[in-house]
Amino acid sequence: MSDFAETTRLKHEIAKLTDRRNELLAEIGRQVYTLHTQGKGIAEAEASCKEIDTIDQDIKSKGDEIARVNTETGPRATTAQ
């Protein structure tokens, strides 16, 4: 796979992970608010919080991989399209 294709693939994966992260944050908000209205604690949101932690780690890892791919190939001239 070319470096450009690899970088593009990784950026797409980061975008998908970021979208999922945002969905989970919205769900946490709904869960916490519902619990608040019921006078309960927020322990029920812990699984979503843990998944967000994992997604953050995956995003960082993929970003590091993009940097590695770019470092291995060095800077390239950009062509106008």
pTM of the model: 0.65
Report pLDDT digits (tens) over 6-53.
999 999 999 999 999 999 999 988 888 888 788 876 777 788 888 889
Q: Which two tokens stand for residue 64?
A: 């590091």
Task: Round to the nearest angstrom and report the end-to-end CA distance of the chain.
Answer: 22
| Residues 6+ positions from 44 with CB-CB distance below 8 Å | 31, 35
